[in-house]
C-alpha cells in the first residue's frame, strides 16, 4: 500500500518540477532606454495619425448605408409591434 502512495506522488512532483523549470528558463525582457522609448512613442503617434485618418474615411463611406440599415431595422420592429397590438 505504501508503494502505491509513492507512485501517485511521482506524477504530481513531475508536474510541479516542470512548471518550476519552465518558468526559470525564460529570459527577462530587455530594458528600453529613454531614447528607445522616445523612438517607439514617435512611431506609434505617427501610425496613429495615419490610421485615424484612414478609419475616419472608411466610416464616412459606410455611414449612409449603416444609417439606412439601422433605420429600416427600427421601422420594421416598430411595424411588427403595431401589428401585434391590432391582433
| % of the chain at pLDDT higher than 70 | 83
At residue 11, φ and ψ (nearest 5 deg) are: -65, -35
pLDDT tens, residue by residue, 41-81? 999 998 888 888 888 888 788 888 888 888 988 899 999 99
- pLDDT for residue 24 is more than 70: no
Own/partner pairs, 12-18, CB within 8 angstroms, 24+ separation: none
CB 28 within 8 A of CB 20: no
Residue 62 parent element (H or E)? helix 34-85
The three cell numbers of residue 63 are 455611414
CA neighbor of 67 nearest in space, from 77, 59, 57:
59
Report the domain count for the chain.
Answer: 1
- pLDDT for residue 1 is more than 50: no
pTM of the model: 0.38
What local confidence, expressed as pLDDT, does residue 34 receive? 93
Amino acid at each position: 500500500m505504501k508503494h502505491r502512495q509513492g507512485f501517485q506522488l511521482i506524477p504530481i512532483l513531475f508536474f510541479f518540477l516542470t512548471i518550476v523549470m519552465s518558468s526559470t528558463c525564460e529570459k527577462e525582457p530587455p530594458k528600453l532606454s529613454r531614447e528607445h522609448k522616445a523612438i517607439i512613442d514617435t512611431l506609434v503617434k505617427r501610425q496613429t495619425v495615419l490610421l485615424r485618418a484612414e478609419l475616419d474615411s472608411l466610416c464616412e463611406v459606410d455611414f449612409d448605408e449603416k444609417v439606412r440599415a439601422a433605420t429600416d431595422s427600427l421601422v420594421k420592429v416598430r411595424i411588427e409591434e403595431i401589428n401585434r397590438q391590432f391582433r
